[in-house]
Amino acid sequence: MSTNPLLAPARALWEGIAGTPVAFPPSGRVRVVVSPESGICPAGWVGAVALGGSAIVTAPDEGAAAVVRDALAGVAAEAVVDEAALRAVLPVTRVLGPAALSYASPEGFRPVRPGAAGAPAVPRLPGGHPELRALERVAGERDAADAALDEITSPAFVVRAHGRTVAAAGYRLWPGRAAHLSVLTAPRERGRGLARLTASAATAHALAAGLLPQWRARVPASRRVAAALGYRELGAQLSVTIAP
């Protein structure tokens, strides 16, 4: 099992979100529980989180839990967040994810300083500012939904150009004093390091408040930004629905 000091608080976060008393099992194992109110996945879905070599899975009812327990008997913990592996043992009908889960510590964080090496300034905007909604429209519905800037509870840390916001990052306060990062860059401005710059400011703000920054990423480019800032990838999350 990983000895990363971020593992215990990350697991505690997802144990709380599970909506029912549950703890990550010993390394290599999977624990399946019934939780109609699970925050790991949408209502009625099966949600799985693997962290540090073990996994918890929530099912919406006893029937689904029984099916999932039987299917996952003998399956490695890492496989429960692998779409292909789940499809091999379960009648999966819909999938959300997988998304890698990464976390930052004060010791491991590698910030980007605004103004260093020509980096632009990073002012703050309120989370409900109209410029953020304009950025979401430019980015497109799918990217905006993934970023979920409209859900942040922190200030938005932005880069502006040509009189508008072209990149922004912030975080939503989750249970367990976690700061769930949201990062979005206008398509024409990508590849300039703006995601790293704005996310650095949001991460620094979260760490200064004593929070646990969490980065959830589906695409490799986003995972690379997190790694560049010193986030440690500890596992992944996946949600599915299964046929009756």
User: What is the dotted CATH code of the domain comprising 111-228?
Assistant: 3.40.630.30
Q: What is the DSSP letter of 108?
A: T
In the chain, the percentage of residues whose pLDDT exceeds 90 is 91
Longest dimension (CA), the chain: 58
Range 147-163 average pLDDT: 95
Pairing of strands 164-174, 232-242: unpaired
Q: What is the pLDDT of residues 123-146, one digit of tens each?
A: 999 999 999 999 999 999 999 999
For residue 28, CA distances in Å to 1, 11, 209, 210 come to 8, 15, 34, 31
Query: CA distances (Å), 135 to each of 63, 138, 144, 218, in order?
Result: 43, 5, 8, 20
Q: Using 50, 70 and 90 to split pLDDT, how confident is the model at 121?
A: confident
Rounded to whole angstroms, what are the CA distances from 95 to 48, 208, 228? Answer: 11, 36, 28
Cβ-contact 36, 61 below 8 angstroms: yes
Taking only Cα atoms into account, the Rg of the chain, rounded to an integer number of angstroms, comes to: 19
Q: Positive or negative CA dihedral for 145, 146, 147, 153? A: positive
Alpha-carbon span 184 to 1, nearest angstrom = 34
Closest CA to 72 of 37, 25, 40: 25
pTM of the model: 0.93
User: What is the predicted pLDDT for the residue at 162?
Assistant: 86
Average pLDDT over residues 90-96: 96
CB 198, CB 215: distance < 8 Å: no
Selection from 107, 101, 102 nearest residue 207 by Cα: 107
200-232 pLDDT per residue, tens: 999 999 999 999 999 999 999 999 999 999 999
Domain with CATH 3.40.630.30 in the chain: 111-228
Q: What is the pLDDT of residues 42-71, one digit of tens each?
A: 999 999 999 999 999 999 999 999 999 999
Sign of CA dihedral 192, 207, 236, 233: positive
Query: Could you say which DSSP state residue 155 is in?
Result: P
